[in-house]
Structure 1
Amino acid sequence: MRFSSQLQQAVQLGTFVKTPHPHIIEVLALANLDFLILDAEHSPYDRATLDLCIMTARLSGLPTLVRIPDAEPSTILNALDCGATGIQVPHVCTAEQAEQIVKRSHYGENGRGYAGSTRAANYATKPMAEHLSTSQATTTVVAQIEDPAGVDNVEAIAAVDGIDALFIGQVDLAVAYGAPSVQADIVREASLKVIAAAKKYNKPVGMFVADASQISDWKEAGVSFFGLASEHKMIIDGFNRQRAAL
């Protein structure tokens, strides 16, 4: 079963992880979250730290997406070979781009390069046929829609076989549209268009929210999984609340 099947359920709650160290993953595994998004796009992950963080998440039984910085084959390969549940790809704007990402995420001709010695393949203890089969069945590919072009083409992107879920990047959309905030009408309209496309093709849709109070409204609209803030914001907010209580 794909992780995306879980993302269709009532509300799945995760967070963006900015700290490239396994200790923070170990702590977050105690926080009753459904998944993590390791933010390799905007945080200083390298292959070694990504490897350790994914290892810790797997040992904790916590599904992990990697928001990769680009869609190059080596970048996708790195995240998946380390054992990530899937990838979240920023700035997906066309169906052609989505098709290429899917191809690079799965084994096959001109697709993901095969190695049986990786964590994903249980360090050469999983037979090739089994690894090929389980990888095809469980690798999750999430397309992040955060550009006007992506919104314009979202139905075609959602229709691509192998794009397992969509993710709305409201902050980037606000910047791209020149809106003052994510609460602007143009951002909400774009978000609803993404949700409608996901519903049409029976695919889950997620989004970033800065605060859990925003979840109820978007859940009603059809969003089923949420990247709630980040561990950085939670640390700052937590101490600020304690300071305010003094």
Structure 2
Amino acid sequence: MTTTFRDRVRAGELLVGTFVKTPSPHVVEILGHAGLDFAVIDQEHAPIELGQMDMLSLAGRAVGLPLLSRRWGKGTDWIAPLLDLGLTGVMVPHVLDAEGAEAVCDSVRFARNKRGLSPSPRAGNYGGMGIPAYREASDRTSVTMVQIEDESALEHLDAIAAIDDVDLLFVGPADLSQSMGVAFPSPELDAAIDRVVAACRKAGRAAGLFVGDPAQIPAWHAKGVTVFVCGSDQALLRKSAAALMASRNA
């Protein structure tokens, strides 16, 4: 059986991706050709609608780039439509406790008997897959990432990490530092991230982290983080353009 992105996450491979804030299929296609392990469409902090997600998913699947999405809101009703479009998974912001993580998993896994079921969308090969095969394939491959971004969530790490349907605990360091009332970066924030990594290690769960600079990856990987979202498509473009102009003026 082909190794899936979820298999790689659960195996603890070093995986590097970026946020996509531009609703252009071409951006997704380029990132796929560049060899990224995955990308996260940032519906939380960029104006990207469901129809645009449809085209981004199409591009991701065409180029073999696993795509996840994160978006705003405390509900989970946005999750299933994106998985129906063929996204590989979701990254859910501000998960505070095990109850919140369970609600996310309910919206991802058919085996929990709460997600609406139809093999008619892209993910079910437009009806080409039978219901049993579709349920099995979706549950086997869909990735569930829950974000730890609140100080209160630090008291529930073991309970969250113990949920088998959760694939990864992902630290949002900017929001977490804001919630804790500490600087970003700071020793206090690093200690909180260490707590998340320790809980993940204890439960056999993967740990993820946002970094703004790829130079930060080796040190955090040595501490046990295996999944990194580094910057965004817009940041990559801006830095490259700024470097171009700096070279002209050198």
In structure 2, what is the equivalent of residue 54 of structure 1?
Answer: 57
Distance 1:133 1:109 in 2: 12
Shift of 1:9: 3.9
Aligned position for 1:83 = 86
The one-letter code sitting in structure 2 at the alignment partner of 1:222 is G
Structure 2 CA distance, aligned partners of 1:134 and 1:45?
27
8 Å contact kept, 1:82–1:118: yes
1:34 is aligned to 2:37: yes
Summarize the alignment of residues 1-246 of structure 1 with structure 2, pairs less than 5 Å apart. Answer: 3-7=5-9, 8-70=11-73, 72-108=75-111, 111-181=114-184, 183-246=185-248
Conservation of the 8 A alpha-carbon contact between 2:91 and 2:146: yes
Aligned counterparts of 1:222 and 1:200: Cα–Cα separation in 2: 11
| Identity among equivalent pairs (%) | 34
Quick one: distance in 2 between partners of 1:201 and 1:95?
A: 14
Separation in structure 2 between the aligned mates of residue 94 and residue 129 of structure 1, nearest angstrom? 32
**Could you say if the C-alpha distance between residues 50 and 187 of structure 1 is closer, same or farther in structure 2, counting changes exceeding 3 Å?**
same
Tell me, yes or no, if the aligned pair for 1:2 and 1:140 is still in contact at 8 Å.
Answer: no
Q: CA RMSD in A?
A: 1.4
TM-score (norm 1): 0.95
Check the 8 A contact 1:71/1:89 in 2, yes or no: no
Q: Measured at CA, do residues 233 and 68 of structure 1 come closer, stay the same or move farther in structure 2, by a change above 3 Å?
A: same
Give the length in aligned residue pairs: 245
Deviates more, 1:201-210 or 1:3-12: 3-12
Return the alpha-carbon distance in structure 1 between the equivalents of residues 192 and 35 of structure 2.
31
Q: Any gaps of 5 or more consecutive residues in structure 2?
A: none
**Distance apart, 1:10 and its partner CA:** 3.7
Asked if the contact 2:95/2:146 (under 8 Å) is kept, the reply is yes
User: What letter is aligned with 1:67?
Assistant: R
2:93 and 2:134 map into 1 onto residues whose CA distance is: 27
Asked if the contact 2:108/2:139 (under 8 Å) is kept, the reply is no
| SS of equivalent to 1:195 | helix
Superposition deviation, residue 160 in structure 1: 1.1
1:71/1:119 CA distance change after superposition, 3 Å: farther
Query: For 2:145, what is the secondary structure of its paired residue?
Result: strand
Q: Which is helix-richer, 1 or 2?
A: 2
- Counterpart of 2:59, as a letter, is T
Structure 1 runs not aligned, ≥5 long: none
Partners in 2 of 1:151 and 1:227 — Cα distance? Answer: 21
* Aligned AA (2:30): V
Paired residues of 2:111 and 2:135 also in contact (CA < 8 A): no
1:30 CA displacement = 1.6
For the residue of structure 2 that corresponds to 1:97, the secondary structure is helix
C-alpha separation in 2, matches of 1:118 and 1:166: 29
Task: For residue 23 of structure 1, give the secondary structure of its aligned residue in structure 2.
Answer: helix
Spell out structure 1 runs of 4+ moving beyond 6 A. none
Kindly indicate whether the alpha-carbon contact (under 8 Å) linking 2:77 and 2:107 is maintained by their aligned counterparts in 1: no
* Distance in 2 (alpha carbons) for counterparts of 1:167 and 1:149: 15
Per-residue deviation at 1:108? 4.9
Letter in 1 for 2:194: L
